[in-house]
Amino acid sequence: MISHSIRAVAMATALAASSLAASSICAVPTAQAASFDGAWSVNVITRKGPCDASYRYGVVIRGGSVSYAGGGPVSVSGRVSSSGHVSVSVSAGGQYAVGSGRLGGSSGGGSWRGQASSGTCSGVWSANRG
């Protein structure tokens, strides 16, 4: 099973863009991405692989940058464009996950994929403000 840290990463990753291609997400000035700033609750659902069926975590967006709201040795990096496209990557203890999608107003969704010691997993995510 993916560890707690990687699940958080997968969820944070899932919180982001309409394409897995990071090149489609450009750095956005803080003022333009500010409409997405704040706390977000993300629900991650596994569709394939040996990971937990679902989990919920918190992430924070500040100036277009996505970070994990929890504690622990998790590295989360991601961006939200002014149009809501998101791309995120997460790693912890040799495991990783990437996600992409789109935010709009107070909700959003997308897909994620990751690699843990137990195997490869993938699925979908949804996010809501708060």
Three-class SS state of 124:
strand
Domain that holds residue 111: 4-129
The number of domains in the chain is 1
DSSP class of 30:
H
For residue 23, what is the domain's CATH number?
2.40.128.120
DSSP state string for 33-66: HGGG-EEEEEEEEEEESSS-SEEEEEEEEETTEE
Residues 6+ apart with CB under 8 A from 129: 38, 39, 40, 41, 106, 107
pTM exceeding 0.85: no
27-78 per-position pLDDT tens digit: 344 444 568 999 999 888 999 998 888 888 888 999 999 998 887 887 888 9
pLDDT in the model for residue 103: 96
pLDDT of residue 15: 39
